[in-house]
Chains A and B, each alone.
Chain A
């Protein structure tokens, strides 16, 4: 304190660790650069914006490398350097890697979609990068204001992305539905934040945690309400029940790569926010959020899987609908370790299983979307029945999709999916949440049914002669996306430790 008093400049000006904030900053700068470039580039050069976006995301992901050595903090309070708003700890790095990598693959998927559907290029790439920047900021944020801002930076562009198909009424409707429900959830969250602030007088997560431990007796109800309401906004993003109804309409209405993007990054944003708020800020209110999240997890996975089970394969868009509903089911699994953290001796370890599961899920779900994007180019309705005979037409793509689906189902040869589920289940068993583990087990079986039914379609003989069906070559960016996710999934299956080490480390 003395040193600060002697140096009045240092008390107002702080040095920023640019390396630490490089990942979200690079994405944000890239977004602005793309937006500006769009204004000046001639129309025929605009296709270049896609590769530029991919390069920016790759660069942002690479900028994580120098951060691996240790925990770095920045934007700390000048009065107390231990309290910071931005922390690049292992948790933040893992989620940032997930987010940027997933955005990169979503960008690869977008290249063909932007061309085929004639989406406005400049806007599309700008929105994608902006949203990715917000999503990359969120896991490193350590105060409620930054968290909410990051959440909104990640969400607002995605509403626009969903509605970007201008000619399509369904797209606009989906965007509006998504927007209205999301804004409501954020508003509720903000109210919760204000309650928490009223009780604790701070927005920094560690300070809140400290002060919530000794809440004044009269304020306990207010604090508990604040805690519960704050979770709402994040639960919405993970598409947890009862905030899940926007998912299928939005996924079907949005351009397919956007649906892929939302299915992974939307969830990453939601669960990392939930983890930060619950484990970092409200650990002493575990008795409030623990059971709530456990029930939420059980309801979410059951609702998602039951709805996915009811999808009729011959309905239009059944493939995307199934992926949408199954992503709700998967969100339920992601919530299990967070709920278990309330009961665990080391909450930071329990939530690692969520990160590990999300890494697996991101790779294989994006892979499945990539193959779906390819099939959608020749069969616009994208029904599950359209996948019949895929093996005869495109053996590598079909094998990749089968592998992704089995990973999602958690059945060998999708070893990584199996062990990610084991990691999640073991946190529940370890925390004594036997009933939740049992519910999840039943859900895994339900999910297997529809994933395997889809897989079986792929290998059935094609309904028409192969010659009658126009053979569409797999576009280069889609090939790259399928190959990348496929290699990742196979690699992780051979060495599950690569993803699962997060389940054993104390991340927070």
Chain B
């Protein structure tokens, strides 16, 4: 859209990865004169906004400079030797698969920084908070931008420490335990993944290499079927923990419930995508034979996750169950990521495109939902659904009556819920529909009857999803603020959405609508890239 030469593009992509790192280091230093602000806290939170804003601007320019006529080819490519001893290269580049994720990451982190600027995190020093958020951003952006397996692993691990501290230091009840669970699960997964990556890289045809593009071109030639299977299993396990795939998901609800708002938004919006991105970028093209054998199992786990997530949400949404809103959104993520995995497991272009679309959609919608849950907690002091409903006003109102007490907040929550349940016209719809469509006609060699069953079960899952989200809307948004004729009870009205909250949320709302109405915007980018990653697949 805007012509940029190759050098400029390369520098932009490098800047996108390096800027947050430098920003993280700078956040720990005292502010220079002129940038001191009202107090050190305000100065460092503003620093966070500036840096993430600059990164967002850089990704936006990158997206505009990206040659949209050939999204299948890797652009803005940098390839320099870093550790020749291990064959590790600083290989950066972006194509239609990674570009949307880069933009999503930069956007969500910027919105989080903006939100934190106006509502500083409750907890110890904000300097460390900003530094950790920036480090997290660097790790996630690097995950999507690198084309070297070892660098991918490095970036994948980089997010662990900042996320651990974000949960353990700034989180809510039970944070220490949740943080440990998060970090140990992910790490156990990722060391297994490392073994798989080594197996692939060391056994590559024509000598050891960790270059993703070269390995994808090889398509697993030079690896025996057993090696491919073991590698796919090992890499897949690591990624499945991150995604998370049922039954490896149990860290997720705890982590989300305990994490601060910003942590939850980034965890759901960005970090989970690293897992599914790895499936598409590494597992599918590099070990195609292995994944072909494993695909039906992956699909089975995925649909189990869909149904399990929905049932867990239904149970949490039930009156008297003491369900937590954040926990419920976390479980809904398990279901949504199940659709993403199902799309991947069909091994078809339709399915994988659906998976990538659902990835982005989930990032936008769940990011918004966690922001809203955080706002509800700020205002009412709880995210417990039962207490929310009781607080609403009175005993028999049946709901927290957000519509009445804070109409805009209630409206946004309802919007997030219907987007999440996959209403046509909003972002959540296309990804899940394409994933189901892919399952209707899976890749050659996969058992079609099995996939038809998976599709049917997943479709049932969408119904359950709709059910629990509507229950949530009913219990949180509807109800009468106070019994007619009586004086308004304390807390009958809540502060409605504030300016900075609008600023943080409106971009997500707009993009959700945009992606829902104009899916070609995204699919046009991903489809050619997916064709490259799945050579020889026609559907």
Interface residues in chain A, defined as those with a beta carbon under 8 Å from any beta carbon in chain B: 356, 406, 411-413, 415, 418-419, 422-423, 425-426, 429-430, 434, 437-438, 441-442, 444-445, 448-449, 452, 456, 459, 461, 496-497, 500-504
Contact = CB atoms under 8 A, between A and B. Distances in A.
B165 interface: yes
A422 B193 CA distance: 12
A207 B160 CA distance: 51
Contact of A497 (B83, B124, B135, B165): B83
B62 interface: no
A346 B82 CA distance: 24
Given A437-B195, A459-B169, A503 B86 contact: yes
A133 B34 CA distance: 55
Given A422-B194, A425-B198, A452-B183, A497 B160 contact: no
B85 A423 contact: yes
Q: Which 9 A-B pairs have the closest CB atoms?
A: A504-B85, A441-B191, A500-B85, A412-B158, A429-B198, A497-B83, A496-B83, A503-B85, A445-B188
A441 B85 contact: no
Contact of A419 (B83, B168, B184): B83
A505 to B, nearest CB: 8
B161 interface: yes
B150 interface: yes
Contacts of B168: 456
A415 to B, nearest CB: 7
Contacts of B187: 411, 444-445, 448
B452 interface: no
B191 A429 contact: no
B169 A426 contact: no
Contact of B165 (A415, A422, A459, A504): A459
A413 B85 contact: no
Bin the interface of chain B by size.
20 to 34
B134 to A, nearest CB: 12
Contacts of B153: 422
Nearest to A449: B184
B163 to A, nearest CB: 12
B86 A418 contact: no
B154 A423 contact: no
B139 A412 contact: yes
A22 B161 CA distance: 45
B192 interface: yes
Given A422-B86, A426-B198, A459-B128, A412 B191 contact: no
B161 A418 contact: no
B86 A500 contact: yes
B205 interface: no
30 contacts: A406-B161, A411-B187, A412-B160, A412-B161, A413-B158, A413-B161, A419-B150, A419-B154, A422-B150, A422-B153, A422-B198, A426-B202, A429-B198, A437-B198, A438-B195, A441-B192, A445-B188, A445-B191, A452-B161, A452-B164, A452-B183, A456-B165, A456-B168, A459-B169, A497-B82, A500-B85, A502-B85, A503-B86, A504-B85, A504-B86
Contacts of A419: 83, 86, 88, 150, 154
A419 B154 CA distance: 9
Given A406-B161, A415-B154, A501-B84, 7 more contacts: A412-B139, A418-B154, A425-B195, A429-B195, A429-B199, A442-B191, A459-B165
Given A441-B194, A452-B164, A497-B82, A430 B183 contact: no
A103 B255 CA distance: 44
Interface in B172-195: 180, 183-184, 187-188, 191-192, 194-195
Contacts of A459: 128, 165, 169
Interface in B65-110: 82-86, 88
Contacts of B158: 412-413
Contacts of A496: 82-83, 85-86, 88
A445 B230 CA distance: 20
Interface in B263-322: none
B496 interface: no
A413 B136 CA distance: 11
Nearest to A412: B158
B24 to A, nearest CB: 9
A497 B150 CA distance: 14
Nearest to B165: A459
Contacts of B199: 429
Nearest to B198: A429
A194 B195 CA distance: 41
Nearest to B191: A441
Interface of B: 82-86, 88, 124, 128, 135, 139, 150, 153-154, 157-158, 160-161, 164-165, 168-169, 180, 183-184, 187-188, 191-192, 194-195, 198-199, 202, 230
A418 B202 contact: no
Nearest to A437: B195
Contacts of A430: 202
A441 B237 CA distance: 14
A141 B180 CA distance: 47
B220 to A, nearest CB: 17
A437 B168 CA distance: 31
Contacts of A504: 84-86
A429 B202 contact: yes
B192 A418 contact: no
A419 B180 CA distance: 23
A415 B86 CA distance: 13
Residue of B85, B135, B183, B187 ringed by the most chain A CB atoms within 10 A = B85
Given A452-B183, A459-B169, A497 B188 contact: no
A23 B128 CA distance: 45
A441 B194 CA distance: 9
Contacts of A434: 195, 230
B85 A501 contact: yes
A430 B207 CA distance: 12
Nearest to B139: A412
Residue of B86, B88, B183, B187 ringed by the most chain A CB atoms within 10 A = B86
Given A448-B187, A497-B85, A504-B85, A412 B154 contact: yes
A429 B180 CA distance: 29
Nearest to B192: A441
Nearest to B230: A434
A495 to B, nearest CB: 8
Nearest to A356: B85
Given A441-B195, A445-B191, A426 B86 contact: yes
Residue of B83, B150, B160, B199 ringed by the most chain A CB atoms within 10 A = B83
A70 B84 CA distance: 22
A444 B187 CA distance: 9
Nearest to A425: B198
A500 B139 contact: no
A406 B169 CA distance: 18
Nearest to B156: A412
Contacts of B183: 448, 452
Contacts of A445: 184, 187-188, 191
A422 B150 CA distance: 9
Contacts of B88: 419, 496
A419 B86 CA distance: 8
B183 to A, nearest CB: 7
Nearest to A461: B124
A423 B86 contact: yes
A334 B195 CA distance: 18
B152 to A, nearest CB: 12
Nearest to B160: A411
Contact of B157 (A411, A423, A461): A411
Nearest to A438: B195
Nearest to B87: A504
Contacts of B192: 441
B161 A500 contact: no
Residue of B165, B169, B188, B194 ringed by the most chain A CB atoms within 10 A = B194
B367 to A, nearest CB: 24
Nearest to A502: B85
B150 A411 contact: no
Contacts of B184: 445, 448-449
